[in-house]
Amino acid sequence: MHSVHHRTATVDGHEIFYREAGPADAPAIILLHGFPTSSFMFRELIPLLAADYHVIAPDHLGFGHSAAPLAGEFAYTFDALAELTSGLLDHLGLDRYALYVQDYGAPIGWRLALQHPERITALVTQNGNGYEDGFVESFWTDVWAYGANPGPDTEPAVRAALSIDAIRWQYVHGVPDPSLVSPDTWQHDFALVSREGNDEVQLALFRDYQNNRPLYPLLHEFLRTSEVPVLAVWGRNDEIFGPAGARAFARDAKDAEVHLINGGHFLLESHLDVVAGYLRGFLGRVLG
């Protein structure tokens, strides 16, 4: 078992928490978490990678152990979160790295790749969307309505996503054996999004999510022109980002490797060894 360090760095005046493991001179892989969790979602994956890779897993601002200024004190957008992540990687002196993205980590990672395409050695998407194909309409209709017209008529439907029942659903839906998923996961996330004022942080990002969609054609062009290696390992029962979103990467990424697993949105909680096996095999081939 390899040691995992828990550190913070000041980026643009904000304290950003990150987990770090592995040799500093090994190929780097950056793990970017989704909603409503944090780098906590990678707690068991990191030691499985640390023997061969320099692993960095930050908490986005407003999540986990990073600073969480109120929405009135910081303009929470995916552009802003990507800039802070880029600043952290610059602070750490990382100018070549693979990206592992899940959920919110995907639009943050796509911005990093488009800003500095020369830095990206590989892309791994685990239920991290990059195509219109991936949106499951039954989930996203309320988000689009809120983004288009935020107010008392549209807010209650998205605010419900902050409830413990909704967070638990994200973890257990589509999992054939829900007993494999620790209740610590949704209890941990619920406690953090329930901090005073954090609801407005999350609502700001719900409103901004629609601004990720125009990035998709740019991402697809990057995949075609860079020929960066891509692994899509996806819970095929995900009712947020459906399996069509995983298959779509094969349209633009040369020789994209796509694996659909009998699991849900947070695949690492039920199929850690399966994901880690595909990930280590892929990284070993493309990074040497």
76 phi/psi in degrees, rounded to 5: -75, 110
CB 55 within 8 A of CB 287: no
84 phi/psi in degrees, rounded to 5: -65, -40
State the angle between helix axes of 164-172 and 183-193 in degrees (0 to 180), rounded to the nearest 10: 140
Residue with tokens 């020789």: 255
* Catalytic residue flag (residue 33): no
- Measure Cα distances from 1 to 5, 21, 47, 54, 180 in Å: 13, 11, 6, 15, 22
Single-letter amino acid code for the residue at 283: L
Single-letter amino acid code for the residue at 49: L
- Measure Cα distances from 52 to 25, 37, 48, 176 in Å: 10, 26, 9, 32
β-sheet with 54-58: strand ranges across: 4-11, 14-21, 54-58, 28-32, 97-101, 120-125, 230-235, 257-261
- Measure Cα distances from 284 to 46, 49, 119, 246 in Å: 16, 11, 18, 21
Q: How far apart are CA 221 and CA 207, in angstroms?
A: 26
Among 14, 54, 60, 265, which one carries the catalytic annotation?
265
CA atoms within 13 A on the CB side of 178: 11
140 phi/psi in degrees, rounded to 5: -90, -15
Active site residues: 265
